[in-house]
């Protein structure tokens, strides 16, 4: 039996963590096994190969035996949030990894200062344009920051805080995946995306959206310091969507694709593009992601049921501003049978008391939020 690569799955309430997991799940050539990101050290006896990625934090920083899997492991699109990951056994792990690629130049400098051979790859969320197709403009602005809503008066706006994943689905992998794919569909069908969040902005640019990053010169962003954007800010500069997309493509071609080829466990780029999924079909995308994971230890609930709950939860938690009725909702939502059932059947979710106010905001466009 071939040992599968373990990848770390977060169980935070930040959907951005999931947004960067899905491209990894879809690009690794074989099935992957999931382990909790916050307890890597406690799972080392079960790991033979590790594909480490994203933001690693909240570990105990105790001693652990990395020797059994470090030489078979790699790190891609990694961000160091706590420099204790460059000390002790963690430093030894990175030093013995086959490949180490960082998400940002800040982490690259940290790695090299610690004597670790590392290269820059950029962020996995740049791959959404290769993995999904069919993004469209359905006449609304997506905003993730409440403080900017007053500046968007007079427009139809969908607002959502990506760090507010419902606790009900927080520890259910299948529901989280469905929730995340519904979120990606909201990004993909927006006219424009206004956000200070890396894992909202990056998939938006990748899918051809115009983005506004109001706090691009700020030193602190909603989920961490601006250093997380080092080497990536060029993608989000104020200009036309095509120019942003070309800046992203430049990093993909010069760094990410080369990193994936060198690590050697990923599907061919041509295969990824030829098998890309319609972003409008969240159910098909969900089935594709689930098929890429060894779910034997990760789901105690039927996957079909998990999809409907997770998918519906996203639309239950977003706020619709400037939409007068169900008929005013974007077309991709009105054609979504799961969402239609959620709106028309008040028994489907006991957490929703007043459908008109929670699902779509009734009022004159431009009224005070």
With beta carbons less than 8 A apart as the criterion, state whether 348 and 341 touch.
yes
Quote the pLDDT of residue 111. Answer: 96
- DSSP E strand stretches across 113-223: 119-120, 132-133, 141-143, 157-159, 192-194, 210-212, 220-221
User: What pLDDT sits at residue 60?
Assistant: 73
Contact 146, 279 (CB under 8 A): no
How far apart, in whole angstroms, are the C-alpha atoms of residue 250 and residue 122?
A: 11
> Do 100 and 150 contact (CB within 8 A), yes or no?
no
pTM, full prediction: 0.90
CATH class of 5-126+250-277: alpha beta
Do the strands 319-321 and 157-159 form a parallel or antiparallel pair, or are they unpaired?
A: antiparallel
**What pLDDT shows up at residue 300?**
60
Burial of 107 (0-12, 13-18, 19+ CB in 10 A): buried
Measured from the Cβ of residue 162, the count of other Cβ atoms closer than 10 Å reads 21
Phi, psi of 86 (to 5 degrees): -115, 25
> Using alpha carbons only, what angle is made at residue 194 by residues 192 and 198, rounded to the nearest 5 degrees?
115
Please tell me the predicted confidence (pLDDT) of residue 103: 97
| 49 SS3 class | strand
Distance of alpha carbon 69 from alpha carbon 45, whole angstroms: 9
Sort strands 5-9 and 157-159 into parallel, antiparallel or unpaired. unpaired
Q: What was the pLDDT predicted at 2?
A: 54
Alpha-carbon distance of 246 to 354, in angstroms, equals: 44
Break the chain into its structural domains and give their ranges: 5-126+250-277, 131-242+282-359
What is the number of other CB atoms lying within 10 angstroms of the CB of residue 170? 14
Return the pLDDT at 347. 38
Per-residue pLDDT of the chain (369 residues), as tens digits, is: 456 789 988 889 999 999 999 999 999 999 999 998 888 888 888 898 999 999 876 677 778 888 888 999 999 999 998 888 899 899 999 999 999 999 999 999 999 999 999 999 999 999 999 999 999 999 999 999 999 999 998 899 999 999 999 999 999 999 999 999 999 999 999 999 999 999 999 999 999 999 999 999 887 788 778 899 999 999 999 989 999 999 999 999 999 999 999 999 999 999 999 989 898 889 999 999 999 999 876 556 789 999 999 999 998 899 989 987 777 888 888 888 777 666 554 433 333 333 333 333 333 333 333
pLDDT at residue number 38: 80
State how far the alpha carbon of 231 is from the alpha carbons of 86, 107, 174, 273, in Å. 21, 10, 33, 25
Q: What is the DSSP string of 262-327?
A: HH--BPPHHHHHHTPEETT-HHHHHHHHHHTB--TTT-SS-HHHHHHHHHHHHHHHSEEES--SGG
Q: What is the pLDDT of residue 352?
A: 33
- The residue count for the chain: 369
């Amino acid at each position: 039996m071939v040992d599968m690569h373990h990848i770390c799955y977060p169980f935070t309430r930040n959907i951005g963590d999931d947004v960067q997991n899905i491209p990894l799940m879809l690009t690794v050539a074989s099935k992957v096994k999931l382990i909790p990101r916050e307890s890597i050290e406690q799972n080392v006896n079960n790991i033979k190969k590790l594909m480490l990625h994203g933001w690693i934090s909240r570990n105990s920083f105790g001693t652990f035996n990395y020797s059994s899997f470090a030489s078979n492991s790699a790190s891609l699109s990694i961000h160091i949030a706590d420099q204790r990951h460059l000390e002790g056994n963690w430093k030894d792990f990175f030093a013995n990894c086959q490949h180490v690629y960082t998400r940002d130049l800040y982490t690259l400098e940290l790695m090299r200062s610690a004597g670790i051979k590392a290269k820059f790859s950029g962020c996995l969320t740049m791959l959404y344009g290769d993995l999904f197709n069919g993004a469209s403009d359905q006449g609304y602005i997506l905003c993730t920051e409440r403080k900017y809503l007053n500046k968007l008066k007079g427009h139809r706006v969908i607002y959502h805080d990506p760090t507010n994943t419902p606790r009900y689905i927080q520890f259910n992998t299948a529901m989280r995946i469905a929730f995340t794919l519904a979120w990606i569909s909201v990004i993909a069908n927006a006219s424009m995306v206004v956000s200070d969040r890396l894992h909202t902005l990056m998939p938006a640019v990748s899918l051809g959206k115009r983005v506004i990053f109001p706090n691009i010169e700020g030193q602190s962003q909603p989920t961490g310091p601006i250093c997380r954007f080092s080497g990536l800010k060029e993608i989000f500069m104020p200009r036309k969507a095509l120019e942003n997309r070309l800046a992203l493509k430049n990093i993909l071609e010069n760094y990410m694709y080369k990193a994936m080829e060198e690590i050697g466990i990923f599907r061919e780029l041509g295969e990824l593009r030829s098998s890309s999924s319609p972003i409008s079909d969240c159910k098909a995308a969900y089935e594709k992601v689930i098929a890429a994971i060894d779910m034997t230890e990760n789901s105690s609930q039927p996957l079909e049921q998990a999809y409907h709950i997770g998918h519906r939860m996203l639309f239950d938690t977003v706020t619709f501003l400037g939409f007068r009725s169900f008929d005013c909702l974007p077309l991709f939502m009105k054609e979504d049978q799961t969402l239609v059932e959620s709106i028309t059947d008040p028994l489907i979710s006991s957490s929703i008391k007043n459908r008109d106010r929670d699902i779509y905001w009734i009022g004159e466009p431009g009224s005070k939020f």
